[in-house]
Amino acid sequence: MNTLFKLKERGTSIPTELMAGVMTFLTMVYIVIVNPGILSKAGMDFHGVFIATVLASIVATLIMGLFANYPIVIAPGMLSLTSFRYMLLDAIPSSLKHAITAGIGLFITFIGLQNAKIIVASPATLLTLGNLREPMTSLTIVGLIVSLVLMAY
């Protein structure tokens, strides 16, 4: 492994690379669901797009790792082959880009907290704290704590 990937030369080890690979997978696996979800709303078969996304990610990542010798994950994305993406990004002011990023992050957080039943609907206050003793809610809280600890180190 060391001769193929030059691990010592790059100042890393197999356990470090395995942990980095697991973390990268957990960070990028959302695209396997999001990509088919978006394209299925446009009429494409969800399962077909799912398989295509997985296979494209595997092949591209293996090529990047084995031939380019870079530990970078490659996955399909929307508008990545056209210059329209760059024209669109250049037309948006920087402050608006930051606001959109923060808004999307808060929205995803809100959906996650709702799905985990940490926050639930309430007729009196619109939202209220859910039952923290439910197994799914407890597991989510433990997962958040583990994530915070891992981010600290």
Span 85-131, pLDDT tens digits: 677 778 889 999 999 999 999 999 999 999 899 999 999 999 999 99
Question: How confident is the model over 20-25, as a mean pLDDT?
Answer: 86
pLDDT at 134: 92
The Cα–Cα gap between 45 and 80 comes to 21
Token couple for 67: 């031939």
CA neighbours closer than 13 Å in the CB half-sphere of residue 4: 6
- Above 80 in pLDDT, residue 2? no
End-to-end alpha carbon distance in the chain:
26
- Above 60 in pLDDT, residue 43? yes
111, β-bridge pairs: none
pLDDT at 106: 96
pLDDT at 78: 60
pLDDT at 145: 95
Q: Report percent pLDDT > 90 for the chain.
A: 47
Length of the chain: 153
* Domain segments of the chain as ranges: 1-91, 93-152
122, β-bridge pairs: 126
